[in-house]
Amino acid sequence: MNYDLIIARYGEIGLKSPKIRSRFERKLVKNIKATFECEVDRNQGRIYIRPEDFSEGIEKLNRVFGVVSYSPAVSTNANYGDIDETLSAYAQELIDENILDENTKFAIKCRRVGKHDFTSQEMAAHCGGVVRSVILAPVDLTNPDLTIFVEIRDDDAYIYHEKIKGPGGLPLGTQGKVVVLLSSGIDSPVAAYLMMKRGCEVVALHCNNDPFSGPKVTENFNALVDQLNIYAKGTPIKKRVIDYGEYLAVAKEKAPEKMTCVLCKSGMYKIAEKLAVKLGADAIVDGSSVGQVASQTLSNILATRHGVGMPILSPLIGLDKEEITAIAKEIGTFEISKIDDGGCSAVPKYPETRADLERVAKACEDMNQDAEVQKAFENIRKIE
């Protein structure tokens, strides 16, 4: 098909006030341009994209948050003669590509904005006749096999037959910054993705547990960020790594061993809070799902977050492992996350599952947690 542009549509952006809507549209256009080489115009709730490489544009637009759907289209002038010529050629190409034949029930849907000497219904009926002059296919307005859309906006007309689903959400970079505790597992990359989908810029914080974990953990972290970054054009993910093994060693030595996982997560939140304050982020994000592991019982979720003054968001909190895994597979992180990284040897045989604030406070005091958190934070490093 000889398409010459892609029409992209957004959803909830259109519900914003005019000022906010315009800002979100500008950011969406910027992110599209950062994803692939193209020229972009916006007009009355539509984004018109003319990519240098059309197949690249069709493939990569599905990675731009804020795009609800998009259609490869051909454009022409909004008059009967030009629409007739363009639609006839379009119908013939549908026939050549075996999309349309004499048994295909089809419909024409016309949408019109602006002043014209015809109504939308009149143009739809006329276009149906144009298609039938090319091929005597049956018209079915109720349950068509194929719908051809004719969209007319002032002096321009656009013809297309596909509506490809986009990722939806809000344009990346419109909702502030968050620090995501990103491990090499399945859950936290999905949590990062979902926050990106809601428009949040992501700083990925990885806690390197060496000597309780091997180098594969950090390798997988880097690979996961690379994969997530295909959805982050225009606002790429920033990476921070912290050596966390010494903190864990002190926790195991000076506090009850069964509290190790609780103290581990508590320390991560407090380090993430320090980083968030330093970078101007508004929240911390993790991959918690209620009851999935020992540190994610309701009691432990409460206990591990005690003493943190910043919001901790857990977008997976009500999802089960199958639902999380399905998203991971869809976004391309699952195959990386399932690579065996050796796990963490600091996990006790019988971890605490019902921590209470009094015992957690005592364990934190025993290991002098604030000092250990500060010591670890001072060695945080940036990875390009």
The domains found in the chain, sorted by start residue, are 5-165 (3.30.2130.30), 177-383 (3.40.50.620)
pLDDT of residue 287: 94
Mean pLDDT by runs of 10 across the 384 residues of the chain is: 92 89 94 96 89 94 96 96 97 96 97 92 96 96 97 95 96 97 94 98 94 87 96 95 94 90 94 97 95 82 92 96 96 93 81 86 93 95 85
Of residues 14, 8, 146, the one with CA closest to residue 71: 8
Q: What does the DSSP assignment read for 144-191?
A: -SEEEEEEEETTEEEEE---EE---S--TTSS-EEEEE--SSSHHHHH
* Centroid of chain to Cα 97: 33
pTM across the whole model: 0.92
Per-residue model confidence as pLDDT tens digits over 31-82: 999 999 999 998 877 899 999 999 999 999 999 999 999 999 999 999 999 9
pLDDT of residue 280: 97
Distance CA 238, CA 354 (A): 35
Of residues 208, 185, 138, the one with CA closest to residue 339: 185
Per-residue model confidence as pLDDT tens digits over 188-232: 999 999 999 999 999 999 999 888 888 888 899 999 999 999 999
Distance CA 248, CA 65 (A): 38
Of residues 133, 366, 102, 116, the one with CA closest to residue 251: 366
Beta carbons of 157 and 295 less than 8 angstroms apart: no
Task: Tell me the one-letter amino acid at 83.
Answer: I
Distances (CA, A) of 310 to 154, 277, 280, 305: 50, 9, 12, 9
Q: Is 81 exposed, middle or buried (0-12, 13-18, 19+ CB in 10 A)?
A: exposed
CA angle 31, 32, 34 (to 5 degrees): 65
pLDDT of residue 323: 97
- 89, two tokens: 């050629």
Distance CA 101, CA 92 (A): 10
